[in-house]
Copies of this chain bind each other. A is one copy, B any other.
Amino acid sequence: MRDTRASLLSEAEILVRGRGYSGFSYADLAEAVGIRKASIHHHFRTKEELAGALIEAYEARYDAALDTIAGDTRDGVERIEAYGRLYLGGVEQGLGCLCAALAVELETLPEGLRRSIVRFFDKHIAWLAGVLEEGQIDGSVRRGLDPQAHARLIVAALEGALLLERFLAGPEGFARTLTALSEGLRPAA
Binding site for B on A (CB under 8 A): 18-23, 94, 96, 100-101, 103-108, 114, 117-118, 121-122, 125, 145-146, 148-150, 152-153, 155-161, 163-169, 173, 176-177, 179-181, 183-184, 188
Contacting pair B19 A107 (CB below 8 A):
yes
Q: Are the C-beta atoms of A105 and B177 separated by less than 8 Å?
A: no
Candidate in A23, A145, A169, A176 with the most chain B CB atoms within 10 angstroms: A23
Q: How far is the CA of A180 from the CA of B113 in the complex (A)?
A: 29
Contact B164 A177 (CB under 8 A): no
Interface centre among A19, A104, A114, A158 (most CB of B within 10 A): A104
User: Do residues A152 and B167 form an inter-chain contact, with CB atoms below 8 A?
Assistant: no
Give the shortest distance, in Å, between A177 (CB) and chain B (any CB).
5
How many angstroms from the CA of A38 to the CA of B96 in the assembled complex?
A: 34
Q: How many copies does the complex hold?
A: 2
Q: Point out the residues of chain B lying under 8 angstroms from A152, CB to CB.
A: 161, 164-165, 169, 173, 176-177, 180
Q: A160's contact among B101, B146, B156, B180, by CB below 8 Å, is which?
A: B156
Per the bound structure, the CA–CA distance linking A146 and B20 in Å amounts to 33
B103 and A167 contacting across the interface, CB-CB below 8 Å: yes
Residue pair B118, A168 in contact (C-beta under 8 Å) = yes
Contacts of A18 in B (CB 8 A): 106-107
Q: Is the CB of A153 within 8 A of B168?
A: no
Cα separation A125 to B159 with both chains bound (whole Å):
17
Could you show 30 A-B contacts with beta carbons less than 8 Å apart? Answer: A18-B106, A19-B104, A19-B105, A20-B20, A20-B23, A22-B22, A23-B104, A23-B105, A23-B107, A96-B103, A96-B104, A103-B166, A106-B166, A121-B164, A125-B168, A145-B183, A146-B180, A150-B180, A152-B161, A152-B164, A152-B169, A155-B160, A156-B156, A156-B159, A156-B163, A156-B164, A159-B159, A159-B160, A160-B163, A184-B184
